[in-house]
Amino acid sequence: MSYQGENAGISRVRVTSGRPPRLLERVRDALRTRHYSLRTERAYLGWIRRFILANGKCHPREMGAAEVEHFLSALAVHGKVAASTQNQALAALLFLYREVLRIDLPWMENVVRAKRPQRVPSVLSREEVRRLLALMEGRPRLLAALLYGSGLRLMECLRLRVKEVDFARNEIVVRDGKGGKDRRTVLPARLADELKREVERARVLHEADLLAGFGAVWLPDALARKYPSAPREFGWQWLFPAPRRSRDPRAGIARRHHFDDGMLSRALKGTCMRAGIAKPVSAHALRHSFATHLLESGADIRTVQELLGHKDVATTQIYTHVLNRGAGGVLSPLDR
């Protein structure tokens, strides 16, 4: 079984001898030294590889701002990519030049930027949420209910540790969320019993792993060195562990990862079709629905901002499109 979720498709770095490290190996080492996620690592390496191939395999040191501008402009003009995609490619190339090659590129004023569309979020009605959850079962249903009930991002939900669920206070503590921020959000009382069963399930798997000589979970940054016994402590284990152990592509260690996000995405897509919901339903749509339904119920926008972990309240205000200030709160002249 391959390492699940964000770790799929990344090969382990091998120590080479007798030759200097190749460029992509240097990039990978620089990314890991700075604790970039494996998803970002895979994306950056992919864009750097595409940039080199687009320029006839010329070494990036022999190229500069002109080639970067042409590559990024071609993505927008010919590739018709989204603005976020172009920005990711730009970030990858800037990392290559600034952090690896130590070349500070001048500001690229001539890049044709992809247009960023102004979109409102896809939000399910309360009835659609009920229909969706009624047709789901097992762990995917629990995860979907938790995303809707707590407003978590998908990876925040999957990366929850056992110790981060506080049943006494009905709270979930999100560690190292987007932007490296911690926050607290609500634990739905209706899910408490199911989550307690998940804790016991995780305990059984962890005890079996310990008996088999495993049981050490991945810890971020230097925590494993600072607290040598922490990786084997139950509180640090994933709340939603994978059914089988897999090999960590970075450390080469066989251990248990968290539940695969792809399985939840497939379950949502299939259930959405069976429920007759025409809207695009993703894990993030459940988070959008959480925020929108709270605001509809009269919750303070600042409270919703804190629960969602938004840095700026302006980000949270996008959900006011369902309130009296938005189209849904205006009575059409035809209906008068």
Task: Beginning with the edge strand found earlier in the chain, give each strand of the sheet holding 171-174 in spatial order.
Answer: 165-166, 171-174, 183-186
Catalogue the active-site residues.
153, 178, 284, 287, 310, 319
Tell me how far apart the alpha carbons of residues 235 and 326 are, in angstroms, rounded to a whole number.
44
Q: Which architecture characterizes domain 5-10+17-100 according to CATH?
A: Orthogonal Bundle (1.10)
Cβ distance 90 to 98 under 8 Å?
Answer: no
Place of tokens 């792809």: 262
What pLDDT shows up at residue 303? 92
Tell me how far apart the alpha carbons of residues 205 and 239 are, in angstroms, rounded to a whole number.
11
C-alpha 59 chain-centroid distance: 32
The CATH code for residues 126-322 is: 1.10.443.10
What pLDDT shows up at residue 35? 80
Please list the alpha-helical segments (H only) found in the chain.
23-33, 38-54, 65-77, 83-95, 126-135, 138-150, 154-158, 192-211, 223-226, 261-274, 283-296, 301-308, 313-316
DSSP 75-123: HHHTS---HHHHHHHHHHHHHIIIIIS---PPP-TT--PPP----PPP-
Bridge partners (DSSP) of residue 166 are 171
Cβ distance 186 to 150 under 8 Å?
Answer: yes
The two tokens of residue 292 are 């929108």
Name the pTM for this structure: 0.77
What pLDDT shows up at residue 12? 41
* Domain spans of the chain, in order of start: 5-10+17-100, 126-322
Instruction: Print pLDDT tens along the chain (336 aa).
Output: 334 433 333 344 444 455 677 999 999 999 988 888 888 999 999 999 999 999 999 999 999 888 998 999 899 888 888 888 989 999 999 999 999 999 887 766 667 776 666 677 889 999 999 999 999 999 999 999 999 999 999 999 999 999 999 999 999 999 988 878 899 999 999 999 999 999 999 999 999 999 999 999 998 767 778 888 999 999 999 999 999 999 887 778 899 999 999 999 999 999 999 999 998 899 999 999 999 999 988 889 999 999 999 988 888 888 876 554 544 555 556 565
